[in-house]
């Protein structure tokens, strides 16, 4: 609602509007003065005329061109003043709308920036959490990984774990007993006199396995070196399981 539409309130006029109203008032006063002059009055009397006994007659000037021009000017200036007020109101409304739109755009940009910052922080936090979980999992896995001694006891225990993973039967006692009979626990032992040696394939390692048998019964995950203690034990145990059911059933040369 504009100020002019509120009962009991007066609109403040700017400088242009005040000048317009002053001009209207001046022209209205001039029109009033002009209407009080008799139509037959002589603007420059040369001599005083004798007073007439008849009453003076004044003619109306409302319909004269001058009166009409004054009336038209007043109406035009009033319309111009109204237009100025409306134009000022429209300009203020446009300024307010522009300011509101600018504030909304700034708020939108700020909200988008904050959303991007939150998304980046979330991604970073997830990456940190994933890295931490990976590190913890690796630590737990390392903690669960058994450490075997580099001796006969450790070789047998490591071989047993690998055998269980591959479903190869055998016990600590059966492996240890056959190892001590075949090589006395020496992983580099070589039989250079039996029939296998005579055929060019000597028995080697803790359980005295020939190369063709080692290659045929090699267990994945172990070394391909026939002298490797763990690889030699697991390959021999795999062969014994296939031929005798288990190394536990072997009590002599096999």
pLDDT in tens, 171-188: 999 999 999 999 999 999
192 found inside a domain: yes
Residue 41's pLDDT band (cuts 50, 70, 90):
very low
69 found inside a domain: no
Sign of CA dihedral 223, 226, 228, 230: positive
> Do 199 and 212 contact (CB within 8 A), yes or no?
no
Sign of CA dihedral 170, 173, 174, 176: positive
Q: How many CB atoms lie within 10 A of CB 203?
A: 23
Percentage helix, strand, coil, to 5, in the chain?
Answer: 60, 0, 35
91 found inside a domain: no
Query: Can you tell me whether residue 140 is helix, strand or coil?
Result: helix
Q: What is the pLDDT of residues 58-76, one digit of tens each?
A: 444 556 877 778 778 888 8
Report percent pLDDT > 70 for the chain. Answer: 74
Residue 17 has a pLDDT of 52
pLDDT at 118 over 50: yes
220 found inside a domain: yes
Distance in angstroms (rounded) separating the CA atoms of residues 115 and 107: 12
pLDDT at 30 over 70: no
25 found inside a domain: no
How large is the average pLDDT for residues 88-98? Answer: 91
Distances in whole angstroms, Cα of residue 98 to Cα of each of 90, 91, 102, 208: 12, 10, 6, 95
pLDDT at 162 over 90: yes
> Which is higher by pLDDT, 186 or 17?
186
> Which is higher by pLDDT, 224 or 143?
224
238 found inside a domain: yes
Residues 50-76, buried b or exposed e (16+ Cβ, 10 A)? eeeeeeeeeeebeeeeeeeebeeebee
> Which is higher by pLDDT, 231 or 54?
231
Give me the CATH number covering residue 207: 1.10.530.10
> Which is higher by pLDDT, 47 or 76?
76
70 found inside a domain: no
How large is the average pLDDT for residues 19-26? Answer: 53
> Which is higher by pLDDT, 95 or 32?
95
Residue 26's pLDDT band (cuts 50, 70, 90):
low
> Do 211 and 226 contact (CB within 8 A), yes or no?
yes
> Which is higher by pLDDT, 157 or 17?
157
Q: What is the pLDDT of residues 190-202, one digit of tens each?
A: 999 989 999 999 9
Q: List the domain range (segments joined by +) for residue 177.
A: 152-249
E strand or H helix that includes residue 246: none
- How many distinct structural domains can be found in the chain? 1
pLDDT at 87 over 50: yes
196 found inside a domain: yes
pTM equals 0.47
């Amino acid at each position: 609602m504009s100020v002019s539409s509120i009962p009991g309130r007066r609109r403040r006029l700017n400088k242009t509007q005040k000048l317009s109203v002053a001009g209207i008032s001046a022209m209205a006063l001039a029109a009033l003065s002009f209407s009080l002059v008799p139509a037959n009055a002589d603007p420059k009397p040369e001599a005083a005329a004798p007073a007439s006994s008849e009453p003076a007659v004044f003619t109306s000037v409302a319909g004269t061109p001058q009166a009409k021009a004054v009336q038209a000017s007043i109406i035009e200036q009033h319309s111009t003043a109204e237009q100025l007020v409306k134009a000022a109101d429209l300009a203020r409304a446009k300024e307010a709308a522009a300011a509101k739109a600018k504030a909304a755009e700034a708020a939108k940009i700020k909200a988008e920036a904050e959303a991007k910052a939150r998304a980046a922080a979330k991604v970073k936090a997830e990456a940190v959490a994933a890295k931490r979980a990976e590190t913890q999992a690796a630590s737990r896995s390392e903690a669960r990984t058994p450490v075997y001694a580099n001796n006969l006891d450790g070789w047998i225990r490591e071989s047993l774990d690998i055998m269980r993973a591959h479903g190869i039967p055998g016990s600590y006692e059966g492996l240890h007993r056959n190892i001590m009979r075949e090589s006395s626990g020496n992983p580099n032992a070589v039989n250079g006199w039996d029939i296998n040696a005579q055929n060019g394939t000597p028995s080697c390692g803790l359980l005295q396995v020939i190369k063709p048998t080692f290659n045929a019964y090699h267990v994945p995950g172990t070394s391909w070196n026939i002298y490797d203690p763990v690889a030699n034990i697991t390959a021999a145990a795999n062969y014994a399981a296939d031929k005798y059911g288990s190394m536990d059933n072997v009590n002599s040369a096999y």
